[in-house]
Amino acid sequence: MRSALRLSSLVLLVVIGLQSVLMAQRKHPVSGRVIAPVMGVGGAGWLERPEREDEEQTSRAVAAMTLRPGMVVADIGAGSGYYSVRMARAVGPEGRVYATDIQQGMLDIIARRVSRDRLPQIVPVLSAEDDPRLPPASVDLALMVDVYHELAEPQAFIRRLKAALKPDGRLVLIEFRKEDASVPIRTEHKMSVAQVRQELGADGFDIAEVIDVLPWQHIIVLKAR
């Protein structure tokens, strides 16, 4: 009995190890970039760390998006809802924020926050690895903060996200600068402007603007062709 249990445990460890290796080797089909693992629900506290504003100047990032009351926006890979809340205040009660995530645990955190902070304009959405699950032609601006580099199925996801944007909609990526070795983040969690141009260009997007006003991150604004 104990031998069988040890064998089962060994098999489970081997399977987990193989899955980790496969995930570590997953690469973007256009650029060959290694796709980074997704942060789990256990990392939600890090997203809400008190020093985040000082480190990343998130208020400046929100201001750079020029959000207006009444806009419909999406926080893709919203995590704990850190940016969702700030976007909701910018678009006001007449606007809407789709807060999407592939992890129900993150959406549960957001739902509690919506109730506590009385922000009914935030709508949690359980998305899939290959689909944001947003209404077609509904979104004025879609934001991904340190998320794009973690997309497991980037091409399928981005093409479906493109369909959710309004004709004049914008896609905004905030990514740690790969060009800067002094940025204290692991390489697989960084993106260069050149990588974004190559990968998103293959999916029908052009870079409209790169806003470099943050200490560590690019703000890259894209428009669909």
Q: Which residues pair with 192 in a beta bridge?
A: none
Query: What 8-state DSSP symbol labels residue 67?
Result: -
Is 130:156 a contact under the CB 8 Å cutoff? yes
pLDDT of residue 143: 98
pLDDT in tens, 1-24: 444 434 333 433 333 344 444 445
pLDDT in tens, 177-210: 999 999 999 999 999 999 999 999 999 999 999 9
pLDDT of residue 7: 39
pLDDT at residue 30 greater than cutoff 50: yes
pLDDT of residue 201: 98
> Distance between terminal CA atoms of the chain?
62
Is 74:139 a contact under the CB 8 Å cutoff? yes
pLDDT in tens, 139-174: 999 999 999 999 999 999 999 999 999 999 999 999
Q: Does domain 39-224 have CATH number 3.30.420.40?
A: no
Query: What 8-state DSSP symbol labels residue 36?
Result: P
pLDDT of residue 135: 98
* Full-model pTM: 0.88
pLDDT in tens, 39-83: 999 999 999 999 999 999 999 999 999 999 999 999 999 999 999
Higher pLDDT, 127 or 16: 127
Please report, as a single letter, which amino acid is at residue 73: V
